[in-house]
């Protein structure tokens, strides 16, 4: 397949996909097109998006690629999505998800020791939404379940991999600055998915 046609096909696949599309998935759809050609086409297409004025860019998210809206359009998208707030996580769910992300694999007992409250309902919510999963059982008395994050967790928070999470020392600095009044609270400035 010629390069221009390949770029258009990849653009159509990325546009039509409701989640990040991995190179392996593209290889299955494109059959005889080598991985190197797919990656080269994505890189070229991404460069074209960056070179012309438009509302979109191609991002690496959760191990795949996705067409996303640019950050400067987030305020309009925020207005559009206000009616869809029901998918937001509660503070308890965010705390629990953060503990799991940083400590995984982790047991419910450890989560509850850190939070200081029962986390049964919160864990149920996170499991139901597919943000965390059971990774196995811990050795020892009772063999408690071990929890870890999922690909959906990466999607929900706009991460490509867990290493993109802020370091704990960075979080402490942010929280200290927030308490001192140096940082205003407001909506996150992440790219909004289009």
Tell whether 81 is covered by a domain.
no
Tell whether 84 is covered by a domain.
no
Q: Which residues of 43-60 are buried (b: 16+ CB within 10 A; e: fewer)?
A: eebbeebeeeeeebbbbe
| φ/ψ (deg, to 5) at 25 | -65, -40
User: CA of 120: how far to CAs of 26, 114, 138, 151, 156, in Å?
Assistant: 39, 14, 18, 22, 21
pLDDT tens digits along 142-170:
899 999 999 999 988 889 999 988 887 77
Distance (Å, whole) CA 193 – CA 77: 9
If asked whether residues 9 and 63 sit together in one domain, one would say yes
Are the beta carbons of 136 and 146 closer than 8 angstroms? yes
Count of domains observed in the chain: 2
Which tokens belong to 90? 């509660």
pLDDT tens digits along 34-91:
999 999 999 999 999 999 988 999 999 999 999 998 889 888 888 776 655 546 788 8
Q: Where in the sequence is the domain holding 141, given as residue range(s)?
A: 89-179
Instruction: Point out the domain boundary residue: 74, 101, 132.
Output: 74
Enter the pTM of the model. Answer: 0.52
Instruction: Point out the domain boundary residue: 48, 74, 100.
Output: 74
Region of 143 on the Ramachandran plot (φ > 0 left; ψ -120 to 50 alpha; else beta): left
Tell whether 148 is covered by a domain.
yes
Tell whether 159 is covered by a domain.
yes
Are the beta carbons of 100 and 134 closer than 8 angstroms? no
């Amino acid at each position: 397949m010629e390069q221009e046609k390949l770029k258009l096909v990849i653009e159509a696949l990325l546009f039509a996909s409701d989640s990040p599309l991995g190179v392996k998935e593209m290889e299955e759809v494109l059959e005889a097109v080598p991985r190197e050609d797919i990656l080269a086409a994505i890189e070229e297409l991404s460069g074209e998006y960056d070179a012309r004025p438009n509302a979109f860019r191609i991002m690496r998210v959760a191990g795949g690629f996705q067409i996303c809206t640019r950050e400067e359009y987030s305020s309009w998208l925020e207005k559009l999505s206000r009616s869809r707030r029901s998918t937001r996580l509660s503070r308890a769910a965010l705390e629990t998800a953060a503990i799991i992300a940083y400590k995984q694999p982790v047991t419910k007992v450890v989560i509850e020791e850190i939070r200081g409250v029962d986390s049964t309902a919160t864990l149920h919510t996170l499991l139901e939404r597919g943000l965390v999963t059971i990774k196995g059982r811990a050795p020892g008395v009772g063999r408690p379940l071990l929890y870890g994050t999922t690909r959906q967790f990466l999607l929900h928070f706009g991460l490509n991999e867990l290493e993109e999470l802020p370091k704990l020392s960075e979080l402490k600095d942010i929280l200290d600055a927030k308490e001192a009044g140096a940082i205003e609270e407001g909506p996150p400035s992440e790219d909004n998915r289009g």
